[in-house]
Structure 1
Amino acid sequence: MLKPCTRLHACLFATALICAATGVAAQESSRTTRLIVPYGAGTATDIAARAIAEKLAERTGKGVVVDNRPGANGIVAIQAVTSAPANGETLLFTNHSPFVINPHLYAGAGRDVARLTPVSLVTTGSYLMVATPSAGIQSIADLIKKAQASPGKVSYASYGVGSGPHLCMEMIQSSSKISLLHIPYKTGSLTDVVAGQVDVSTEPIANATPFVKEGKLKALAFTDERLPQVLPQVPAVSETIPGYRCDLWLAIFGPAAMKTTPQLSQLNESLRAIVAMPDIQKKIQDLGLVPKWAGPEEVERIVANDSRKWGDLIKQANIKVD
């Protein structure tokens, strides 16, 4: 039989173990997951990330915050993830550009993205090509015809050299053998297109649609699949230029070592369920995007295929950044 003093010590020891275990559990549940976004607040990528973060917090019982890290063409955000532990608590939520465009334009960009693990695709989508009404351009066929008649005179705006909208227009030039005047902007160009200072622009759908509905811009075409739920009468560019496809996507990536951890499959399954939720699907569609889940292997295949496509175009068009 234990002496009273011994029993007391045993009791205290057991209590300490319980408290320690409880403390560890509390610490584990209080850890916060960061979704690092390489763009500023209010962008489509940021809005989608915040919607996903809210649902992910509900499913996991952990805090999930969106951490905006714009700058250096995504390099700042990417490096914050590559240097993080592979525990699923630091993730990159990004569009396609850092993975399939930047490596062909910026030294070291390819090395950086190779150090990340695909987790899940969240959306696919198109851009919307629009024209200022004063340009008299009613369709992609009109755009091509005017450019053929006046090479280098029809102007178009983009979000900068090597941006997705820039490459969409470069693809039209390459496919149709026309010459357009490129006017790159560091920030959005819609104000100048609405004002008639630039003829044409390729824009995120959510940005341009309100101006189209107000009659301040003419919608020419979607750059990938049509979105009749947004603008029912607007065709796809491919209806004029067969085989044309300039799409975009949003996906989540983790550190390289995450590929061999159980957190990868757990997180991927959570994201599959989240993307299927009706309210998330509506939020994504409101951004002019298409909800679409895909696992790591499919994301890896998409990255490889798109990287080849954009790399070939960048080389063919001799696109270089300053």
Structure 2
Amino acid sequence: MQERKHQHRSRREILRAGGTLIGLMAGASLTSGPSSAGTYPDRPIKIIVPFAPAGPTDIIARVLATHLGQAIGGTAVVENRPGAGGNIGIGVAAHAEADGYTLLVTSSAYVVNPGLYAKIPYDPYRDFAPIAELGTSPNVILAAPDLGVNTVADLVSRAKANPNELNYASPGIGTTPHLSGELFKIACEANLTHVPFSGAGPAIQAILAGTTQVALAALPPAHPHIKSGALKALAVTGAHRWFDLPDVPTMVELGYTDFISDTFQGFLAPAKTPPAVIELLSARSIAILKTAKIAEQLRNDGFEIIANGPEGMKKRIEDEIPKWRDVIARAGIKPV
């Protein structure tokens, strides 16, 4: 893209122009400090995903990156930094330069990890500036078709009759699928051995390959395998049945009161990223998610689109950190 020269303008002038950043042309001047200005973006934007490829966070991040780059007249690329339940990638993003060129798309691990780990490489309240609350997905309990388990009742009976026989895969320690699995064990008084992986993609591959017989995962990476018949969905952990899986019950419907657990995806930037950059990224990402074609694509992939701005993301963080601390305590998981 040919570089354009713009007259130096203050952030206040830019925010006033047109009344909103939504109408700014790509490449409009954004002030990054009281004495410096430049075009944004003038180089590729890196979106860190703190998990392996093919998981729900990676799926939505790649859709966002493709369209966000086009919307702001630049390029956005995804960089996967998996490990330590998401802590490695989140920590990298937390300590990146606050210039709008390193961003984070993360999952519920962001709010779970403060209660799961004795020490984490980020402060969830102070190290990031929320950009947008992207979407959420129910978790799903999966069984291999050749296991001979067709319902949650079948799974509970099998686990009780054969203690220590069944393993369940999850995207990693402390992810909402893992915590859902631990709550399942408590609620059903059934013993399944947890096998953590580095993300949802590897966890799904484990059950497809027969490494584990059961898996808990967010719906998006499991959805195509459920539709193809490669995996059997026993239940979803959302508040209602998924629109194109009408025969898959919720755990609440099966009598497990308050068994609601989902996985969200959020968009954040390092703290002190210029407010004008945050507003631009927020407006454009929300507009992308609300585009009918993209919203339908993501819904078909297993996402419920939220598309809230910074305040919505901030409230979710504040609400869910204490919520998951309580779940971790109830599950008897000690911080590591």
Question: Structure 2 matches for 1:227-266, cutoff 5 A?
Answer: 228-240=242-254, 241-258=256-273, 261-266=275-280
Question: Hey, what's the Cα distance between the residues in 1 that align with 2:98 and 2:211?
Answer: 49
More helix by share: 1
Q: C-alpha deviations, 1:142-179, integer Å up to 9, x for none?
A: 33344455555544232343233221111122333443
- The answer to whether residue 127 in structure 2 is matched with residue 103 in structure 1 is no
Give the Å deviation of 1:111: 3.9
| Unaligned stretches of 5+ residues in structure 2 | 9-27, 30-36
Question: Hey, what's the Cα distance between the residues in 2 that align with 1:186 and 1:84?
Answer: 23
Q: C-alpha deviations, 1:267-301, integer Å up to 9, x for none?
A: 22222211101222133224211121112222222
Question: Structure 2 matches for 1:259-274, cutoff 5 A?
Answer: 261-274=275-288
Give the Å deviation of 1:207: 3.4
Aligned to 1:8: none
Aligned to 1:113: 124
CA contact (8 A) 2:111 2:124 kept: no
Give the Å deviation of 1:185: 4.1
Aligned to 2:291: 277
Aligned to 1:39: 51
CA contact (8 A) 1:57 1:64 kept: yes
- The answer to whether residue 204 in structure 2 is matched with residue 193 in structure 1 is no
Give the Å deviation of 1:124: 0.8
Q: 2:150 aligns with which of 123, 138, 144?
A: 138
Higher gyration radius (CA): 1
The alpha-carbon distance between structure 1 residues 313 and 270, as it changes in their structure 2 partners (threshold 3 A), is: same
Aligned to 2:223: 209
Residue correspondences, number: 302
- The answer to whether residue 155 in structure 2 is matched with residue 172 in structure 1 is no
Q: C-alpha deviations, 1:15-40, integer Å up to 9, x for none?
A: xxx98959x97962523332222123
Question: Hey, what's the Cα distance between the residues in 2 that align with 1:191 and 1:57?
Answer: 31
Amino acid at match of 2:222: A
Q: C-alpha deviations, 1:127-149, integer Å up to 9, x for none?
A: 22111234332222333344455
Aligned to 2:233: 219
SS of equivalent residue, structure 2 residue 191: coil
CA contact (8 A) 1:128 1:205 kept: yes
Aligned to 1:306: 320
The alpha-carbon distance between structure 1 residues 171 and 304, as it changes in their structure 2 partners (threshold 3 A), is: farther
The alpha-carbon distance between structure 1 residues 171 and 60, as it changes in their structure 2 partners (threshold 3 A), is: same
Question: Hey, what's the Cα distance between the residues in 2 that align with 1:186 and 1:62?
Answer: 31
Question: Hey, what's the Cα distance between the residues in 2 that align with 1:19 and 1:38?
Answer: 36
Aligned to 1:125: 137
Question: Hey, what's the Cα distance between the residues in 2 that align with 1:246 and 1:20?
Answer: 49
Amino acid at match of 2:258: G
| Unaligned stretches of 5+ residues in structure 1 | 1-17
Identity %: 31
Aligned to 2:21: none
> What is the TM-score with the length of structure 1 in the denominator?
0.80
The alpha-carbon distance between structure 1 residues 161 and 272, as it changes in their structure 2 partners (threshold 3 A), is: closer
